[in-house]
Structure 1
Amino acid sequence: MRLLIILHLGLSVVSIIRTEEDDVCGGKPADVVFLLDSSSSIEFSDFHKQIRFTQEVVGLFDIGSDRTRVGVVLFSDSVHPTIDLSRYTDKTSLLSAIRRLQYIGGGTHTGEALTFVVDKVYNINEREGVPKIAIVLTDGQSYDKPTTIKEANRAHAAGISIFVIGIGLNTDESELRAIASDPDGEFLLQIESYSTLERFKRSLAIKACEVEYVEPQQLLMDSPGPEACSLKVIFGADTSGMTTGNSLQISTFFSDVTEAVTSSVGHLQSSQITSDCPASGGTGSKSYAPLLRKMRLQVLSGRSGVEPVGVLVVDSPIADMSATGREVMRSKFQNFKLLAVALSDASVSQMAKVFRTRVGSREFQKHVFEVDSAENLQSLAPQIGNLLIGQCFE
């Protein structure tokens, strides 16, 4: 069996217990590769908690050149191979090498790590007929969701069965489902915190041992990527009272989001609706209900079979709270998902009210995004693009 374990751990506690000298696979061969997240989102102490967790899982297998082999790769801004699959053939030396691994820091390039495992680890250390299994633990989101999804599909096509454990409230469920093998009931587990992780260690290892060898699909490996999905994105902004520079920044932002999505969906329709003469509420506020209505009607006028999403830029307090709230609810009833980007002058508390949620709540964070100026809108483009792609594959 080949077992790939990706650990992407954040701020939480994993109970530390002694390593068990116990082979849960009954001597069945395995190739185990741990991919450990060493990005800056993980505190130094938590990085060592995941090192200890890795040791505990390794302790459940019978290590040997003709039994279970273990490798370790760290990933952050790039991939850092540290322990090759064929390097250690006894458990004592292997556990000692894992304990010496050092924290790196940086971004979370999960997709690049998956690429490395498919192309460099298993491709070089092939053992015919041995199952390949990935166990992904994450409490957050990858830096580049489209790449992560594509590379997860390549891993599936390479015959790697992937278990995913999502921990806490900051995971992206659509991303987890895209990474996990089917059915989700067997391969996807979501838990509240790392404090409950320990209880799943043994049962997960047993499940991994039950996975059979999957024959690689060469055609899919040559043509990676998610299944075709049709997406319709309606962008909206009220440009009245804006400087020409800010209007251009918003238009560029819309284009950047579109570009981020285009290569990851089968078919994309996008359009921009702007208004330069809205009903004004005075004192710098604007009425957004008319703009939202135009966006909603634009969705209804299109073809069926597409996933509709709206991205609204709000740059001022909302003058027509009740009407805007009604338009948000009508959009929800029509399965038209809305995302709102609040610029510095917008009222975030008002945004929470029209979306019927609380500022800072998980639901709020799914729908409302804040940025301090139009110039910095571009920094949100990858994140918004990932959310749109996730909507397409939910």
Structure 2
Amino acid sequence: MWCSASVDILFLLDGSYSIGRGSFERSKHFAGKLCDALDIHPGRVRVGMVQFSSAPHLEFSLDSYLTKQEVKERIKRTAFRGGSTETGRALKYILRKGFPGGRNLTVPKILIIISDGKSQGSTTVPAMQVKERGTTVFAVGIKFPRWEELHAVASEPTEQHVLFAGDASDAANGLYSALSSSVCSVTTPGNRSPACLPLTPLL
């Protein structure tokens, strides 16, 4: 599906040493491929990215790039930072800063965490607080993930919000379709224009 609704999407990318450079590049590739299923435009889908390891780092805000090509090129240029896996600290950053460059509370917020789920500290409380603020959280496992943590941070039902990006050539077409379809389903009802349109398979 092609998501063309008004929605703010923030990628939270694990850039820790437990992920490593190779899996970090696959995470970036996954994020870029997902952007192919999003109608990135200032009035429709906005995308931003935070990389986290020992500390969170804002790579680009949601109002930095206005086209799909710009967003994908910026994702490709994101450099691996390394450090420990402080997912809880990254979620607290989201609680403090919100979605940098995002719109008002009427626009749905979607947080997509791409991680191995091997956090050094607790993620339960900050993840719950993020979700209580109305943010939909997807957890995408990379490398050899710790599934119990990914299930704990993701929104309910977890079978729709916890995914696996794989350790080889990333996820297949069906994973992108499932994620982008779920992204569309959380947008506000009653949109006059269709939120989701058919998408040709991602190669």
User: Normalised by the shorter chain, which TM-score bucket?
Assistant: 0.7 to 0.9
Partner AA of 1:184 in structure 2: T
CA contact (8 A) 2:40 2:46 kept: yes
Higher share in helix = 1
1:167, distance to aligned residue in structure 2 (A): 5.2
* RMSD between aligned residues: 2.3
Report deviation, 1:188: 3.2
CA distance in 2, matches of 1:63, 1:103: 24
1:144 aligns with 2:121: yes
Distance in 1 between residues matched to 2:103 and 2:56, nearest whole Å: 20
The answer to whether the Cα contact below 8 Å between 1:73 and 1:81 also exists between their aligned partners in 2 is yes
* Pairs aligned (count): 186
What is aligned with 1:66? Answer: 43
1:161 partnered with 2:139: no
Whichever of the two has the greater Rg, that structure is 1
- Does residue 109 (structure 1) correspond to residue 83 (structure 2)? The answer is no
Contact 2:19 2:116 in 1 (8 A): no
User: Counterparts of 1:170-185 in structure 2 under 5 Å?
Assistant: 170-173=145-148, 175-185=149-159
SS at 1:122 equivalent: coil
Encode CA deviations 1:152-196: one digit per residue, 9 max, x unaligned: 0111111012223445655141x233212222333334x594346
User: Residue 28 and residue 212 in structure 1: after superposition, are their counterparts in 2 closer, same or farther (change >3 A)?
Assistant: closer
CA contact (8 A) 1:133 1:160 kept: yes
Q: Corresponding residue for 2:73?
A: 96
**Cα deviation digits, residues 21-74 of structure 1 (max 9, x gap):** xx712x211211111111111232322222122111112111111111111111
> Which residue identity lines up with residue 177 of structure 1 in the other structure?
H
In structure 2, relative to structure 1, the CA distance for the partners of 1:169 and 1:82 (3 Å cut) is closer
C-alpha change, 1:123 and 1:154, in structure 2 (3 Å) is: farther
Indicate how the Cα distance of structure 1 residues 187 and 42 shifts in structure 2: closer, same or farther if over 3 A, else same: closer
TM-score by length of 1: 0.44
3-state DSSP class of the match of 1:111? helix
Instruction: Mark the CA change 1:41 to 1:98 in structure 2 (over 3 Å): closer, same or farther.
Output: same
Match status 1:194 vs 2:167 = yes
The CA distance in 2 between the partners of 1:140 and 1:151, in whole Å, is 15
The answer to whether the 8 Å contact 1:169/1:192 transfers is no
In the TM superposition, what whole-angstrom CA distance separates every residue of 1:71-114 from its partner, at most 9, and x where no partner exists?
A: 11111111111101111111222221111111111001111111
On the 8 A contact 2:7/2:46 being kept in 1, the answer is yes
**Aligned with 1:86 (options 39, 60, 63):** 63
* Structure-2 separation of matches of 1:43 and 1:116: 22
Q: Which runs of 4+ in 1 moved over 3 A?
A: 165-170, 191-196
Q: Kindly provide the amino acid, as one letter, of the partner of residue 164 in structure 1.
A: A
Higher relative contact order (CA 8 A, sep 6+): 2
Check conservation: 2:5, 2:44, Cα contact below 8 A.
yes
Distance in 2 (alpha carbons) for counterparts of 1:167 and 1:209: 23
Q: What is the identity percentage for the equivalent residue pairs of Structure 1 and Structure 2?
A: 32
**Residue of structure 2 equivalent to 1:56:** 33
1:87 and 1:168, CA in 2 relative to 1: closer, same or farther beyond 3 A?
closer
Q: What residue ranges of structure 1 are gaps of 5+ in the alignment?
A: 1-22, 214-394
Of 27, 34, 39, the match for 2:11? 34
Aligned residue number for residue 209 of structure 1: 184
For structure 2, list consecutive stretches of 5 or more residues without a partner in the other structure.
Answer: 189-203
TM-score by length of 2: 0.81
